[in-house]
Structure 1
Amino acid sequence: MSRNLEDFRLDSPRLETPEPDSRQGRRNIVEDGVQLLDDEGAISEQFEICLKHIFARYCTPPPPRPSPSSAGQISLLAPPEGAYLTTDGLDAWAKDTNGQPFDDATKEELLEFMDVTDDGGLTLKGFMQIYQLQTENDEEETWKDLSKHGFDRSLKLVTTRREATDAEQQYAAWVDSTERHHEDGPVSSGVRSTNPTTGSS
Structure 2
Amino acid sequence: MPAKLLDDDMDFTPECERALREVFARYDKDGDGALNEEELQAFAVFTNGSRFTESDLADIRAHLKCTPAGALCSDGFVELYHVQTAGGEDDETWRDLKKHGYNDDLQLAEDCAAGANDAGH
Q: What TM-score do you get using the length of structure 2 for normalisation?
A: 0.88
Contact 1:60 1:86 in 2 (8 A): no
71, 90, 94: which one aligns with 1:139: 90
Using the TM superposition, give the Cα deviation of residue 61 of structure 1 relative to its aligned residue in structure 2, in angstroms: 3.2
Residue 58 of structure 2 corresponds to: 108
Which stretches of structure 1, 4 residues or longer, exceed 6 Å deviation after superposition?
Answer: none
Q: Structure 2 CA distance, aligned partners of 1:155 and 1:140? A: 14
Please list every run of 5 or more consecutive structure 1 residues that lacks an aligned counterpart in the other structure: 1-30, 63-81, 175-201
- Which of 73, 91, 102 pairs up with 1:151? 102
Measure, in 1, the Cα distance between the counterparts of 2:64 and 2:25: 18
Give the equivalent residue in structure 2 for 1:182: none
1:119 aligns with 2:88: no
SS at match of 2:86: helix
Percent identity of equivalent pairs: 31
Q: Give the counterpart of 2:33 among 47, 59, 83.
A: 83
Where does the alignment leave 5 or more consecutive residues of structure 2 unmatched?
none
Backbone CA RMSD of aligned residues: 1.9
Q: Give the deviation of 1:159 after TM superposition.
A: 3.3
CA deviation map 1:4-25 (0-9, x unaligned)? xxxxxxxxxxxxxxxxxxxxxx
Q: 1:60 to 1:118 in 2, by over 3 A?
A: farther
Alignment of 1:47-58 (within 5 A): 47-58=16-27
> 1:41 aligns to what SS in structure 2?
coil
Counterpart residue identity of residue 53, structure 1: E
1:63-101 residue CA offsets vs partner (Å, 9 max, x unmatched): xxxxxxxxxxxxxxxxxxx60000000000011110111
Mapped to 1, the partners of 2:107 and 2:20 lie a distance apart of 12
1:58 is aligned with what amino acid? Y
